Amino acid sequence: MAWGTAASPSADATVTAAFVRAFVTAVQQNDAVPDGAGVDYTDEHALVEGLRAGDEGAFAWLLDRYDASLHRLARNYVASAAVADEVVGETWLAVIEGIRRFEGRSSVKTWLYRILMNVARTRGVKEHRSIPFASMSSAMGEGAEPAVDPDRFVAAGKGAGGWAAPPTPWDEEPEGQLLSKETLGVVIAAIEQLPPAQREVIRLRDLEGWTSVDACNALDVSETNQRVLLHRARSKVRQALESHFEDAS
What single string gives the DSSP state of each residue in 82-131? HHHHHHHHHHHHHHHHHGGG--SSS-HHHHHHHHHHHHHHHHHHHTTS--
Of the residues 126, 152, 171, which one is the last residue of a structural domain? 126
CA 140-203-24 angle, 5° bins: 130
Same domain, 85 and 197: no
Same domain, 117 and 206: no
Same domain, 206 and 122: no
Same domain, 118 and 144: no
Residue 197, in any domain of the structure: yes
> Could you give the number of structural domains in the chain?
2
Residue 166 has pLDDT above 80, yes or no: no
pLDDT mean over 6-18: 47
CB of 73 within 8 A of CB of 116?
yes
Same domain, 176 and 106: no
Residue 52, in any domain of the structure: yes
Residue 144 has pLDDT above 60, yes or no: no
Residue 131, in any domain of the structure: no
Same domain, 228 and 150: yes
| Residue 176's CATH number | 1.10.10.10
Same domain, 105 and 74: yes
Same domain, 22 and 112: yes
CA of residue 243 relative to chain centroid, distance: 27
Residue 215, in any domain of the structure: yes
| Residue 73's CATH number | 1.10.1740.10
Closest C-alpha to 3, from 92, 91, 74, 87 = 92
CB of 140 within 8 A of CB of 195?
no
Residue 8, in any domain of the structure: yes
Residue 107, in any domain of the structure: yes
Domain that holds residue 165: 136-248
Residue 24 has pLDDT above 70, yes or no: no
Of the residues 72, 96, 126, which one is the last residue of a structural domain? 126
Closest C-alpha to 6, from 87, 67, 86, 95 = 95
Residue 68, in any domain of the structure: yes
pLDDT tier at 80, thresholds 50, 70, 90? confident
Of the residues 82, 102, 126, which one is the last residue of a structural domain? 126
Same domain, 10 and 88: yes
Closest C-alpha to 111, from 129, 89, 92, 126 = 92
Same domain, 107 and 181: no
Residue 190, in any domain of the structure: yes
The pLDDT tens digits for 192-207 are 888 888 888 998 999 8
pLDDT value, residue 6: 42
Which of 12-16, 53-57, 161-165, 171-175 comes out lowest in average pLDDT?
12-16
Same domain, 156 and 94: no
**CA-to-CA distance for 31 and 191, rounded, in angstroms?**
37
Residue 204 has what DSSP assignment? I
Same domain, 185 and 147: yes
Flag whether the pTM goes above 0.85: no
